[in-house]
Structure 1
């Protein structure tokens, strides 16, 4: 799983506009991070994903988008992994 996770993260990080990627387990433990994604935020990101699942029980894995002037963070939890993708603002 570790090699598959790293490969997926590397592929995602190479997409134009992606400034960071983070993966956390179901307990909020950071499995890996690249770019501007901070390991310390893994717990909060996993918690947001769990809360979103409770808000929308019909869709068990919603995508959360947090937008700000500095860019967008997309968060999705699937199985036991939460992934956050940090995107740079469009120029």
Structure 2
């Protein structure tokens, strides 16, 4: 991923269905893979008719978007807009 193609993206993380980190870049921490995968699974249980809900966690430091699809969880860390 080139920074110029993804403005505001500070990091990305991919995890498998067991929470094992497949890849992390930028500010995304490998150690968070299990928690991110668990959040994605819990969101699917809350809304079983939606095949892939997107979770947005917002804070002053930015936003994390989390989505699970085909047994892979992807998390995108976005910087706060200035």
TM-score by length of 1: 0.86
- Which of 71, 77, 83 is equivalent to 2:74? 83
Counterparts of 1:50 and 1:13, CA distance in 2 = 32
Cα 1:26–1:56 change in 2 (3 A) is same
Residue 22, structure 1, aligned to residue 22, structure 2 = no
Residue 33, structure 1, aligned to residue 24, structure 2 = yes
Which structure would you say has the larger RCO, counting Cα contacts within 8 Å and 6 or more residues apart? 2
* Structure with greater helix share of residues: 1
Gaps of 5+ in 2: none
Considering only aligned residues, what root-mean-square deviation do their CA atoms show, in Å?
A: 1.5
Gaps of 5+ in 1: 1-9
TM-score by length of 2: 0.95
Counterparts of 1:12 and 1:65, CA distance in 2 = 21
